[in-house]
């Protein structure tokens, strides 16, 4: 790879010179266009004596991203500079250090083909075997450095081939990667115009040498995905089958064992029916040993702490499939998809994946009816349950065999009903009821706590003037164990469309030091998590300043999570798209 | 080396004096399973296109689109425009989009940017993010939503109508 032979700074300057020279060399020809964005998220951590929270050695920390693209006719070149100075905000992937070039690429679009050299993002199918993407709040940027060609020999056949190595912080992981994706739209081929039928196939492979003298696994790990999607009128359905070849399994989050070699698989089915005013959607998914990374073993940072905790070097996207709630308390006991293998006789756990599904129902009670009122009423019902794979699990020797259909113990369930109603041009309301069950022992392997919750949440938007408005929310959660009950209130006032201020408090009460707790150490008392701040926004500029307490726990985006330690401090976030 | 770094960044930023923003080209899936090209398939000369980036998990996005849904018929009488709502839901929630949209009864054109390719090409960090595009040029953009933002949107549409 070119990258490994060039010092970081030289590549930075080289890529900028490419951009600049494309821009200036065009002389009087049609000028190209620039797109860019700047995002900076900073935190200053305070000491909070009552919580016994001590700030880190460097209490000021900041993550900043400058992203620039230049487009000229069929050419696009871009780069992203990243700065984690004086250090990255707490508990980000430790690979993010200092300042450097995050990504850079050059792309050429021809009539039937698209060529990219440098870093690129992509996804095959639903991402179960490969997804490269960026999520700054989670510290994920697993772009691939290499080459990619997309080719459409006909308008209904889409081919992609790619190869390279994956980004890990400002370095590259060791695995050599190659992939192929094909999508065929069948109906145009057979001159059928009503509906759509697409067949997809993907291959993704990782080659990595090993320190193990006589490995029981092949150095090349292969994965395949076969898909079919069908849509006709109001009906749609899709099925995806995934296979991953035999590979060494990571146990206990840190290392592989040459005597524990297993294949992986996944099955994902989705179908739905929707017509104006109503929609039904069903999802069923089974995962078995679907952890797939660009290196077999994660970087180790301490006892049972590894790159896996920071989503480092992940190749595929395996999110939890359940409703992504918009209220705070519904996101305290949050489920992560169970793609890892864990056999721990001390905690009485044997698991190799998950099986379960989700049902969604959406209904619009029409305007002008008695219940619908003048503006209509929207109802959303979502139900999901996920279980361990039933089977037999042994630690000596490490092995398991699972059933394809039968469910084991339940990991998590989430049932919710959400009602949204506009009362008049000045008043909008939302009300949600949620019931969750969270089996902490089986999900995390730690404390033997199972939590049942009932949550009621409501949010109101009130227009107080042409451009001024107020947003108020109130939530309460009853929990059967752990830290027990929570209540939250929030008020936000928007002064003129540009400036808004908010204050919120999340209060946890009913803490019992002798109760069934997930964590006996952090904040061992009833506690207020207060927060207040303001936002200024104009066009594509936004700046937010806030002061408050951060609850220790998982922060999740798109079903992928990052652990955030308990902290108290002030935060500043600035975003500009230009 | 530090001055070199700063110099190179300044050199780069100086290029921003040039050009104006074109809408990039990108292929996205529609609710009907067909592939659409932005903006190739939405390029009627002088027509105004409102492009709203949203997600099923983004509360302010939904409030904004519900608000636009409520005033859509009234606005269309004043300004002829097309509203394209681009969902950035990824594989976690993408499967809910069809039923979600129909359940809301939104009459807009819905496209799916499942791996955020168009969002990335536009340099968009967060949703909601709204653009007005005319003749493939971005003539207005705003990020975030607070009640009343739609008034500025309507004023801008009226200003640029042919």
Nearest CA in chain A to B89: A558
Residues A454 and A396 in one domain: yes
Tell me which residue range forms the domain holding A464. Answer: 358-548
For residue B123, the model assigns a pLDDT of 87
pLDDT band at B10 (very low <50, low <70, confident <90, very high): very low
Domain regions of chain B by residue span: 22-160
Residues A363 and A305 in one domain: no
Question: Tokens 């636009």, residue?
Answer: B68
C-beta atoms of B25 and A12 within 8 A: no
Residues A520 and A565 in one domain: no
- For chain B, say whether A83 makes contact (Cβ under 8 Å): no
C-beta atoms of B1 and A9 within 8 A: yes
Report the residue from A9, A23, A274 with minimal CB separation from B99.
Answer: A274
Phi, psi of B60 (to 5 degrees): -65, -30
Question: Tokens 């990039």, residue?
Answer: B24
Residue A399 domain-assigned (yes or no): yes
- Give chain A's length: 578
- For chain B, say whether A499 makes contact (Cβ under 8 Å): no
**Residue B16: pLDDT above 70?**
no
CATH topology of domain B22-160: Glutaredoxin (3.40.30)
Residues A260 and A400 in one domain: no
Using alpha carbons, select from B94, B87, B80 the residue that is nearest to residue B53.
Answer: B87
Helix, coil or strand: residue B2: helix
- For chain A, say whether B2 makes contact (Cβ under 8 Å): no
For residue A109, the model assigns a pLDDT of 93
Positions in chain A short of pLDDT 50: 1-10, 21-29
Report the residue from B18, B98, B147 with minimal CB separation from A279.
Answer: B98
Q: Which H/E stretch holds residue A322?
A: none
What is the domain-level CATH number for residue A411?
2.40.160
In terms of DSSP bridges, do strands A171-172 and A144-154 run parallel, antiparallel, or are they unpaired? Answer: unpaired
Residues A101 and A196 in one domain: yes
Residues A516 and A562 in one domain: no
Residues A292 and A392 in one domain: no
Q: Which residues lie closer than 8 Å to B108 by C-beta, 6 or more apart?
A: B52, B65, B68, B69, B72, B83, B84, B85
The C-alpha atoms of residue A175 and residue A198 are separated, in whole angstroms, by 31
Residues A384 and A529 in one domain: yes
Considering its fold, how many domains does chain A have in total?
2
Residues A471-487 as b/e (b if ≥16 CB within 10 A, e otherwise) read: bebebebebebbbbbbe
For residue A403, the model assigns a pLDDT of 94
C-beta atoms of A380 and B103 within 8 A: yes
How many other C-beta atoms lie within 10 A of the C-beta of residue A263? 15
| Angle of the B2-14 helix axis to the A8-25 helix axis, nearest 10 | 30
pLDDT band at B4 (very low <50, low <70, confident <90, very high): very low
Residue A149 domain-assigned (yes or no): yes
Residues A455 and A564 in one domain: no
More confident residue, A477 or B102: A477
A82 CB burial (10 A radius; 0-12, 13-18, 19+): buried
Residues A97 and A136 in one domain: yes
List of E strands, chain B:
26-30, 35-38, 48-54, 81-87, 109-112, 129-134, 137-143
Residue ranges of A 286-305 with Cβ closer than 8 A to chain B: none
For residue A18, the model assigns a pLDDT of 53
C-beta atoms of A467 and B151 within 8 A: yes
pLDDT band at B148 (very low <50, low <70, confident <90, very high): confident
Q: What is the mean pLDDT of residues B40-64?
A: 92
Helix, coil or strand: residue B102: helix
Residues A569 and A543 in one domain: no
Using alpha carbons, select from A503, A564, A74 the residue that is nearest to residue A331.
Answer: A564
For residue B14, the model assigns a pLDDT of 42
Residue A330 domain-assigned (yes or no): no
Alpha carbon of residue A10 to chain centroid: 33
For residue A179, the model assigns a pLDDT of 98
Measure A467 CA to nearest chain B CA, in Å.
5
Contact A468, A492 (CB under 8 A): no
The C-alpha atoms of residue A416 and residue A242 are separated, in whole angstroms, by 30
- pLDDT (tens digit, 9 = 90+) per residue, B60-86? 899 899 999 989 989 999 999 999 999
Residues A509 and A529 in one domain: yes
A110 CB burial (10 A radius; 0-12, 13-18, 19+): exposed
- For chain A, say whether B74 makes contact (Cβ under 8 Å): no
Residue A348 domain-assigned (yes or no): no
Q: Which residues lie closer than 8 Å to A367 by C-beta, 6 or more apart?
A: A373, A374, A375, A376
For residue A19, the model assigns a pLDDT of 52
């Amino acid at each position: 790879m070119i990258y490994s032979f060039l010092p970081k700074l030289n590549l930075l300057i080289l890529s900028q010179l490419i951009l600049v020279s494309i821009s200036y060399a065009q002389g009087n020809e049609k000028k190209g266009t620039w797109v860019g964005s700047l995002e900076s998220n900073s935190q200053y951590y305070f000491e909070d004596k009552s919580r016994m929270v001590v700030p880190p050695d460097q209490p000021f920390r900041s993550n900043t991203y400058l992203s620039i693209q230049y487009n000229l006719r069929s050419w696009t070149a871009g780069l992203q500079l990243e700065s984690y100075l004086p250090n990255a905000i707490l508990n980000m992937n430790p690979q993010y250090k200092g300042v450097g070039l995050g990504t850079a690429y050059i792309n050429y679009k021809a009539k039937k083909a698209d060529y990219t050299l440098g870093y690129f993002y992509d996804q095959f199918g639903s991402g179960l075997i490969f997804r490269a993407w960026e999520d700054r709040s989670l510290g994920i940027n697993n772009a691939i450095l290499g080459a990619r060609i997309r080719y459409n020999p006909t308008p209904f056949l889409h081919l992609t081939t790619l190869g390279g190595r994956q980004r890990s912080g400002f370095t590259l992981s060791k695995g050599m990667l190659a992939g192929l994706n094909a999508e065929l739209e069948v109906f145009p081929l057979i001159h059928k115009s009503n509906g759509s039928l697409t067949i997809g196939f993907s291959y993704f492979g990782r080659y990595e040498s090993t320190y193990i003298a006589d490995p029981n696994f092949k150095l090349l790990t292969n994965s395949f995905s076969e898909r079919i999607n069908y849509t006709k009128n109001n009906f749609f359905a899709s099925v995806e089958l995934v296979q991953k070849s035999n590979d060494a399994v990571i146990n206990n989050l840190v290392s592989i064992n040459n005597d524990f070699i297993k294949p992986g698989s996944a099955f994902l089915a989705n179908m739905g029916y929707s017509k104006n005013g109503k929609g039904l959607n069903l999802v069923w998914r089974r995962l078995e040993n679907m952890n797939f990374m660009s290196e077999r073993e994660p970087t180790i940072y301490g006892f049972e702490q590894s790159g896996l905790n920071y989503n480092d070097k992940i190749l595929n996207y395996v999110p939890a499939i359940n409703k992504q709630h918009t209220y705070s308390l519904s996101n305290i006991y949050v489920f992560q998809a169970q793609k890892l293998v864990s056999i721990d006789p001390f905690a009485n756990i044997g698991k190799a994946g998950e099986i379960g599904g989700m049902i969604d129902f959406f209904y619009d009670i029409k305007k002008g009816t008695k219940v619908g009122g003048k503006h209509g009423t929207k109802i959303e019902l979502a139900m999901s349950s996920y279980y361990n794979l039933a089977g037999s699990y042994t630690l000596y020797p490490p092995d398991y065999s699972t059933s394809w259909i039968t469910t084991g113990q339940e990991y998590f369930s989430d049932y919710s009903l959400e009602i949204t109603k506009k009362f008049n041009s000045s008043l909008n309301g939302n009300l949600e009821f949620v019931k969750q069950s969270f089996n902490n022992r089986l999900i995390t392997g730690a404390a033997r706590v199972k939590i049942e919750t009932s949550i009621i949440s409501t949010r109101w938007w009130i227009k107080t003037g042409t451009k001024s408005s107020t947003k108020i929310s109130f939530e309460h959660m009853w929990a059967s164990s752990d830290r027990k009950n929570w209540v939250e209130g929030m008020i936000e006032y928007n002064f003129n469309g540009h400036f808004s201020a908010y204050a919120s408090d999340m209060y946890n009460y009913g803490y019992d030091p002798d109760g069934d707790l997930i964590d006996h150490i952090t904040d061992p008392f009833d506690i207020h998590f207060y927060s207040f701040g303001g936002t200024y926004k104009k066009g594509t500029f936004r700046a937010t300043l806030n002061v408050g307490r951060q609850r220790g726990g998982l922060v999740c985006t798109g079903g992928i999570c990052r652990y955030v330690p308990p902290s108290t401090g002030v935060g500043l976030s600035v975003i500009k798209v230009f | 080396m530090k001055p070199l770094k700063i110099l190179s960044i300044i050199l780069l930023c100086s290029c921003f004096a040039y050009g104006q923003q074109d809408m990039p080209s990108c292929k996205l899936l529609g609710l009907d399973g067909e592939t659409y090209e932005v903006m190739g398939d939405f390029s009627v000369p002088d027509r105004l296109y409102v492009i709203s980036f949203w997600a099923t998990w983004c509360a302010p996005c939904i409030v904004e689109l519900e608000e636009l849904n409520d005033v859509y018929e009234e606005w269309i009488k004043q300004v002829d425009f097309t509203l394209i709502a681009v969902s950035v839901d990824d594989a976690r929630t993408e499967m809910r989009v069809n039923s979600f949209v129909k359940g809301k009864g939104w009459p807009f054109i819905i496209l799916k940017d499942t791996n955020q390719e168009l969002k990335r090409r536009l340099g968009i960090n967060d949703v909601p993010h709204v653009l007005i595009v005319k003749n493939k040029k971005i003539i207005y953009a705003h990020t975030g939503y607070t009640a009343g933002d739609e008034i500025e949107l309507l004023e801008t549409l009226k200003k640029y109508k042919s």
